[in-house]
Amino acid sequence: MKKIIFLFAICFCKLASGAITFASIIGNHMVLQQKTTITLWGWCDPSEEIKIKPGWDTTTYITKGDNAANWKISIPTPEAGGPYSIRFSGYETVTINDVLIGEVWLCGGQSNMEFSANKGIKQAIEEAPNANNSSIRFFYVEKASSNVLQNDCKGEWRVCTPEEMKRFSAIGYFFGKKLQNELNIPVGLIGANWGGTPAEVWTPAELVEQDSLLKQSKGKLWSSDEWWPVQPGICYNAMINPISHFAMAGVIWYQGESNTDAAFTYENLFSTLILSWRKAWQKELPFYFVQIAPSAHYQGKYTGALLREAQTQCLALSKTGMVVIHDLITDINEIHPQNKKDVGIRLANYALSEQYHKAGIPHKSPLFNSMQLNGSKAVISFTNVLTGLKAINGAPTCFLIAGDDKLFLPAEATISVDKVVVSNKSIKHPVAVRFAFNNTEIPNLFTNEGLPVAGFRTDSWEIKP
């Protein structure tokens, strides 16, 4: 309730001042999405006429405050460029300065997306002295929660400097730096993340409550432990809805660790989250996400593997992509892997290839496609293999094989160009194969281009996590 009263007070003060005011994400140093129709919005006196003159256009756009003291207008943006100013003339004149036109991405999730140089990421600390780049801008949505939808959030745009970079998502920064270097245009990065949060808090509450499976899984969420919220919708209400009018290119996402205890719902949950955000933005936003890493912190033996399986299944949605990172892990006892640079670069390669149509960038990890049985051998085929497969330091590891008794045994695996042949002398008639399908295994199978093969199972047998 305090948060609601506070936001009401802000809006009241804006109205009482008689000046045109803006949503927090509309301000100096912002980056606007290029070659689209953007929305600008804020507050003014009821019926106040506002004339908007963007520096990139000869047109003057006109809107008027409604009876609730809101104003909103949509205007076109050109190709990337700037800096520009935007002048707003009503009863008073207000100018927003140093506006760039480029590509805008939201960096969302829990702690592995949130972690920065200030939180001890060594690569980001080492990079910071080189992080003077006025073509990269950060908007960090401050942590907040609410039981009802909010129309504004706290935050402001900042130009990328060594000090500002240190507080922003390390993955987000390395993602943005790669895009900016490759595209040679401004990049705006919106950070909206909160360590420890399950996906439910980023999904509209009514969508969780009306789905019997998702409603059932709520009881399996981690305790808040005084550090993060767990109630459905409350971060969506306070941190996502307030910026849903702001045009952007897409979303990068790293989250799932806090949902491993209810992995059986995650495909449904994450798909619901993606579709709800697309509805809010009225656009089929690309969602490129990170598959969670092997870790000894997950409960049982298979909860992490089951969550990774659910993430893979979410690729059935259009304009989604998954980055596999188990090869970047050096310590399974560390829930926050230090290598954020390569994660950001892999996400950027996905965006460069799929969103910006840059050719010749390997970006998709191989996924299980099919299994053919050939006597006592199982031949595994994959999608996304360009020129072939390779194993690092010996034969492929982390393969298991089972007969109809459902007892899995370690398997011998050999590579045949773009396939893997799997067998065990004790199993004459195999029926199922698993690869890196537990919480902690780090396999050694890659494409020739160096991308790791995602873990999988060919069976659908019940697993006790």
Tens digit of each residue's pLDDT (9 = 90 or more) over 356-369: 999 999 999 999 99
- pLDDT score of 4 more than 80: no
Q: Does domain 102-354 match CATH 3.40.50.1110?
A: yes
pLDDT the model gives residue 305: 98
**Measured between alpha carbons, how far is 179 from 349 in angstroms, rounded to an integer?**
8
Intervals of CATH 3.40.50.1110 along the chain: 102-354
Q: Which of 286, 291, 287, 325 is nearest to 311 (CA)?
A: 291
| Ordered DSSP codes for 52-90 | EEETT-SPPEEEE--TTSEEEEEEE--SSEEEEEEEEES
Intervals of CATH 2.60.40.10 along the chain: 2-100
Tens digit of each residue's pLDDT (9 = 90 or more) over 155-196: 999 999 999 999 999 999 999 999 999 999 999 999 999 999
pLDDT the model gives residue 128: 97
Tens digit of each residue's pLDDT (9 = 90 or more) over 224-283: 557 899 999 999 999 999 999 999 999 999 999 999 999 999 999 999 999 999 999 999
170 touches 344 (CB < 8 A): yes
pLDDT the model gives residue 221: 60
- Residue 127, judged by CB atoms within 10 A of its CB (0-12, 13-18, 19+), counts as buried
Angle at 80 between CA 78 and CA 85, to 5 degrees: 75
- pLDDT score of 219 more than 80: no
**Measured between alpha carbons, how far is 248 from 190 in angstroms, rounded to an integer?**
9
pLDDT the model gives residue 216: 74
279 touches 316 (CB < 8 A): no
- pLDDT score of 289 more than 60: yes
Q: Does domain 2-100 match CATH 3.40.50.11540?
A: no
pLDDT the model gives residue 214: 86
Share of the chain above pLDDT 70, in %: 94
- pLDDT score of 94 more than 70: yes
At 1, the pLDDT band (50, 70, 90 cuts) reads very low
**Measured between alpha carbons, how far is 89 from 13 in angstroms, rounded to an integer?**
19
pTM across the whole model: 0.94
